[in-house]
Amino acid sequence: MNTVHTMNTFYAITIISILLSLALLSPFQLQTQNTTSQYIPGYTWNKTTLQTLIVTSENQPWWNTNLINMTLRSINQWNDAITYFAHNYTDYAYLVNLRIEAEIADSIKPNYDIYVVFSQTVNSSGQNALGVASILPRVNGTIEKCTITIGAGSLSNTLTKSDLQDITTHEFGHALGLDHSNSSNDLMYPYYDIYTTDNAISTLNLYALATIFSWINNTATMRLNSQTIMLPSNIEYAYAPINDPTPKVITDNPIIKALEAIGLLLIRPTVLTMLLIATLIITITAIVTKREPKNN
Ligand SMILES: [Zn+2]
């Protein structure tokens, strides 16, 4: 009897603890959700079909064809996410008209809206970046064109196909008129975490896009203000499904990536020299300590 009672008490305590932690967790999650915000600079396109030219660099030593495939996947990911949002949130059904189309060429040709070019390294405001999107706005606040530059090689890590797709999808977010969001779990967060992949497009990103393109529904004005967008109470923070995810490879594994990053760091001349000096100091200290006479 006593044992059963103890077990019952144990189960009761366990259940109460679980319920308590759930009760504590849910308001916390709701709070995180409500404070996730997305900034928009106030530019919009004056058209709903955006023609993209992907410019290849096949004669460059760092070139690889994944760069084209991953760009096309990013474009599909955006088109799919836009369709998903327009179908699920009918107040913004007009967004379904927004489409990104793509062509591939080996040199820049005029009259495209978005250009995707590749470079071995990318510099954004004096900093090394994985990608950058430069918007050319007109005085009336509409976007004339946007050039996305994708870095084909990071200095500190090998970028996998998943990384490339995530980076390109982020840059297309800028091309569509989005700025950054304040949550590290969001696609439009300014810093990319190479240890997590599949940055899905969020309802926050899509709701912000619906705001940017609200002129489709209400043609009165295209003029937008720069603003911080938060989700209305009837839209939950969620991710649009990725219909065609990038096949995962061994190097997408966070542990393999971390080891690779350490390896790349170790082979840098400065780090290598410092390591050699440190080893030398430790060896000398060890020898000197051993030679010291023992007192007793
Ligand atoms: Zn960015």
Q: Which helix (H) or strand (E) holds 229?
A: strand 227-230
Mean pLDDT across 270-282:
86
User: What span, in angstroms and rounded, lies between the C-alpha atoms of 265 and 155?
Assistant: 10
Question: How far is the centre of ligand 1, averaged over its atoms, from the C-alpha of 224 (Å)?
Answer: 20
Q: How far is the CA of 74 from the centre of ligand 1 (A)?
A: 15
pLDDT at position 115:
98
What spacing in Å lies between the alpha carbon of 291 and ligand 1's midpoint?
58
Instruction: Give me the pLDDT at residue 52, please.
Output: 98
User: What is the Cα–Cα distance from 71 to 59, expressed in whole angstroms?
Assistant: 19
Q: Is the dihedral of CA 206, 207, 212, 216 positive or negative?
A: positive
Ligand 1 mean position, distance from CA 131 (Å): 8
Residues 194-205 have pLDDT tens digits of 777 678 999 999
pLDDT at 15 over 70: no
Confidence of residue 253 (pLDDT cuts 50, 70, 90): confident
Output the six-digit token pair for 109.
Answer: 């040709």
Interval 66-96: pLDDT, tens: 899 999 999 999 999 999 999 999 999 999 9
**Prediction pTM value:** 0.77
Write down the pLDDT at residue 22: 47
DSSP secondary structure string for all residues of 114-159: EEEEEESSEEETTEEESEEEEEEE-TTSBEEEEEEEEESS-SSS--
Q: Which residue has the higher pLDDT, 171 or 253?
A: 171
11/67: higher pLDDT:
67
CA of 125 to the centre of ligand 1 (A): 12
